Structure 1
Amino acid sequence: MTADRCAMTTPIRVVVAEDHPAVRSGLVALLDSAPDITVVAEAADGDAALAAARAHRPDVVLTDVRMPGATGIEITPRLRETGANVLVISGFDLDDYVLGALAAGADGYLVKTEDPQRILTAVRDVHRGDAVLSAAATRAVVGALRGRAEDEAGRPGSVAGGAAVGPAASADPGASVGPEPSFTRREEDVLALVAQGLSNQQIARELFVEITTVKSHLSHALTKLQLDSRVQAALWWQQHRG
């Protein structure tokens, strides 16, 4: 059976966490309209989202960045512990929210003004283990990295990775947190291509290896970096090797 046929017979299971009922209903209707995606639970706040993820073990949690109680950023590490990939969606493209979500381990960040088909594609992408960033989120990340580089260049003696980029700076996924780990040649190849925005499938074609091999190298690299997602790994590479 082909991978595409498997995807059709085994829908991507999603939990939708959004505190505004109308927006939540719209997202649920959109996702359920796709034959390869099914919504297994809804949540109106962070605590309910975490409970739903623990109960249903979804493939993906689509969560708002701001909700009553625990925010989408705060629950992201615990959502990932359930085995789910996390796609944050927000009405805000502010640097603090974007960097905070990525630092917490989110696999992607979208704004709610995205085209509906883009949201469906993003769910599929993060389910495959690929990274997703809206154009606005990408600008926020690039701006933060550029700001750090300028800060380090202009302040002799400053600690690498220590430039301030708002409240999220202390958890910036690009920050240096100790000696640089030792990678194998293949791990470096994979990290470099991840940083270029390539998907696992594209990396496999580029390196003439199986997708499972790419995932294995990336998993080992993430462990060495003590990071949770490929987005964080891409930011680390751009900051330290780019």
Structure 2
Amino acid sequence: MPTAQKKIRLALVDDHKMILGALTEWIRNVADDIQVVAAVSTWPALLIHPEFPVDVVLLDLDLKDGIPVSLKLSALKATGVRTVLMSTYSDPGVVREALAAGALGYLVKSEEAGMIAEAIRAASKGESFISSELDLALSEGDVGGAPRLSAQERRVMALYGGGEPVKSVAYQLSISEETAKSYLKRIREKYRIAGIDVGTKVALRKRALQDGILHHGE
């Protein structure tokens, strides 16, 4: 009998009780591999929570507590906890600073549930994940160059560009078809901002080969 996959133990920190409740509900509905073990509204409440340290913390960047986010990130890192930050705004300077301080992911709160779950999964594996909206803000000025894709986006682009239908891409990466479609949408959007059109499957394949995401013969 296959062994049950260990669930990712997640803590949510947000000072809006409504958002905490909605996020907990969302994650329960879209991700049975993620378990919300703590949902708290302040930073100290996270540190004294009986379930702490957890695997991943989804941390609201806009907590009005005067504690610098770099301090929170280094404290979490020291206990082996991986952090995905969440914010209502997407100032590129703030994002760069947070990523430099050790955040593995950065999401805007308008992100859909499937993508939030993907960011948590990526962080649990030590991979980074930035919402496409923020990635676009970070990439401004890089027009003409290939956009930065997350590890999972590269996998989706390689499979889809290699001729797999969306259903098969989703199956191979153990994600839903909707999430696979969201990835393709993000990939196309990132390239579009960089001034590159990958609107068709042929154009996407060509670009995947050009950027070394897909190799000839695949």
TM-score, normalised to structure 2, is 0.60
Q: Tell me which residue corresponds to 1:175.
A: none
1-structure distance, mates of 2:57, 2:119: 12
Q: Residues 44-123 of structure 1: matches in 2 within 5 Å?
A: 44-52=41-49, 56-69=52-65, 70=67, 72-123=69-120
Match of 2:150 among 184, 187, 197: 197
2-structure distance, mates of 1:71, 1:64: 12
- 1:72–1:22 distance in 2 versus 1, CA, 3 Å: farther
1-structure distance, mates of 2:85, 2:111: 12
1-structure distance, mates of 2:10, 2:102: 18
Aligned-residue RMSD, C-alpha: 3.0
**Alpha-carbon deviations, 1:175-232, whole Å to 9, x = none?**
xxxxxxxxxxxxxxxxxxxx76335x96xx9xxxxxxxxxxxxxxxxxxxxxxxxxxx
- 1:46–1:100 distance in 2 versus 1, CA, 3 Å: farther
**Alpha-carbon deviations, 1:139-186, whole Å to 9, x = none?**
23223x85xxxxxxxxxxxxxxxxxxxxxxxxxxxxxxxxxxxxxxxx
| Structure 1: gaps (5+ residues) | 147-194, 206-242
Quick one: which amino acid aligns to residue 16 of structure 1?
Answer: L
Which structure 1 residue ranges, 4+ long, deviate > 4 Å from structure 2?
none
Match of 2:12 among 12, 16, 39: 16
Contact 1:66 1:90 in 2 (8 A): yes
Higher helix share: 1
- 1:44–1:72 distance in 2 versus 1, CA, 3 Å: farther
| Structure 2: gaps (5+ residues) | 143-147, 159-218
Contact 1:59 1:127 in 2 (8 A): yes
